[in-house]
Amino acid sequence: MNNAPRISEDRVFAALASPVRREVLRLLRQEGPQPVQQLAGHFAMARPSFSEHLRVLREAGLVTERKVGRQRLYQLQAVPLNEVQQWLSPFERFWRDKLTGLRDLLDRMDDDES
């Protein structure tokens, strides 16, 4: 079985590498769909730069864009994040098992010292 991330997961990881894009996702998660102008107002950057961040998020499937009148409304799409979480899950279990083993060892050491 091939456990390598798929291309879409690679795009999601690349999109999440930017603090600006993570903040956009947080804003959409907490405040719901928003027009570009409202999202852009949270960041001190030129509009073309911000538009590039939105493009990366769209291409990764993390947001959708729809036109409402003259505005472009952005909405969070969390499915790709779930796919990444599934890919990361074995690593989380690995570290949880390691930390449980360390806790057990430390508990035994405390018992031995008593």
pTM over 0.75: no
Cα-flanking dihedrals φ and ψ of residue 75, to 5°?
Answer: -135, 140
Query: Has residue 3 got a pLDDT over 60?
Result: no
For residue 5, the model assigns a pLDDT of 46
Q: Do residues 59 and 11 lie in contact, with contact meaning Cβ atoms separated by under 8 Å? A: yes
Q: Which domains does the chain have, with CATH numbers?
A: 7-113 (1.10.10.10)
For residue 107, the model assigns a pLDDT of 81
> Which structure tokens are listed for 8?
């879409």
Give the chain's mean pLDDT: 87
Strands laid side by side in the 71-76 sheet: 34-35, 71-76, 63-68
